[in-house]
Structure 1
Amino acid sequence: MLIRRLESLAPDASALDLNGEWRLALALGETPYRSSPFFWAFRQAAAGATTPVAVPGAEVAAGDSLASAIYGVTDTLPFYDIGNVVQRISGLCSDVDGCKIEEEDDEGFTSDGVQAASEPNDGNNSPLPSPSTDVGSLESVVQLTIGRLFGISTMESQMTTAAEVRTLARTPSDRSGVVEVELQIQTTAAKQSTIASVLPALEDALKFPSGAALELIKKRSSFVRLRTTYVSDTLRISRPVLEGVANADAVFVYSRM
């Protein structure tokens, strides 16, 4: 109810407002670690596939989606905890306002990149027109802690998915407070991991081109859309939009860091 109320009062926004570092505050319809776009893309890639067996602990019945069954098994595994979940978005341009220049001169002021002091436009931070080739980036970081297990000390890792981001042009039905972007999954890796000191081969195995792997399952499954229905200086409400996936109604609320 509160989310819908906020969405009804959403201020004007553009893709420029999505840039920044965001900490996950609330996940509805999905567990916090599945705010990573890799899991959205896998659910999209496996659309139509069903599980022949039930996963009782996860309330997944035989005939439910295969992705839900796999995620259900993961959710019921013991000995791990999820810590901070963060998204970092940068270089994203608006389809209307273009891109902002973010350079600082020697005195700490934002500059337009002009080097000569005699040039009059130095200090201008106005948006520039955005060519269609402009691509931003999204980094999703999930802090994973594996508890003391079989005599092994607690281990931590940051499971990181990197994606390219492109702004989608608004349709006439979109309200001014709604922003939609397309993500293309690139890679998934374990970073800043203490697991490497114990199981180095495992960390190497977790560095893989997840986007290319998804494309092998189903063409264009590495592309997912992120629809933001509320964004302000402090808060963002976003939803994945997946092709061919029924009941994909997850909602993620982020606070700006």
Structure 2
Amino acid sequence: MGGLNPESEQRSQAKVWFIAGTDTDVGKTYVTALLAAALNGQGKRVGVYKPAASGCNRSGDELVADDAVQLWRAAGKPLDLDAVCPQRFEAALSPPESAKLAGQSVDQRLLVRGAEPWLRGEFDVVLIEGAGGLFSPISDQWMNIDLFQQFDDARLLVVAANRLGCVHQTLATCIAATERQVCPDGVVLCQTQDQRPASADSNAAAIARFGPTAVWGEIGFGASEIPEKLVRQVLGG
């Protein structure tokens, strides 16, 4: 659960989920978009927020965050793309390093304030997608876990790539989080390769056996839908 927000009394009653990875390129945006689409398909009003993105593409004078576009479309195009991702940087580095190359810095206050249109809006569920792993830097002073702790009543979903090494990465992330008084609510394993690795058959069981957090679902490569159980967990969480 996230930390206290002094303006929480002004917020809607939306369920707020922060989706973080164990690493970069683990399928975090893919899972978040599938979840947004499933919730939208059930008639839920879905908000999506990507506080900062790097590795953006330049289109004229604008920087376009492909991840933000994917989330926005999956959620049914709520608000606008600038609201989805207010801070965009071009270099494919962590947001603070990418910003530094552009002679800028990540606006830490905006990371939180940028969520307000979603948290105060008429949404049933708000999905906040971090940048990279849970312990990756998102500003000069904060890692993603620090940003998560700014959101009152937010729940935490961790996405891991379902491949060899996944057990260690997931356990390390979840156990380290508990040292910060954060207990992830669930883990989702996402297959990021077209050929299913042999370890994928046992990863979920090993994580459940050794870790503090349950595996809520597995997403196959190229899946067009998310497991109904995961949708129920998010709505019931």
Could you state the TM-score of these two structures normalised by the residue count of structure 1?
Answer: 0.25
Structure number having the greater strand percentage: 1
Higher helix share: 2
- Normalising to structure 2: TM-score of the pair? 0.27
* RCO higher in structure (CA 8 A, sep ≥6): 2
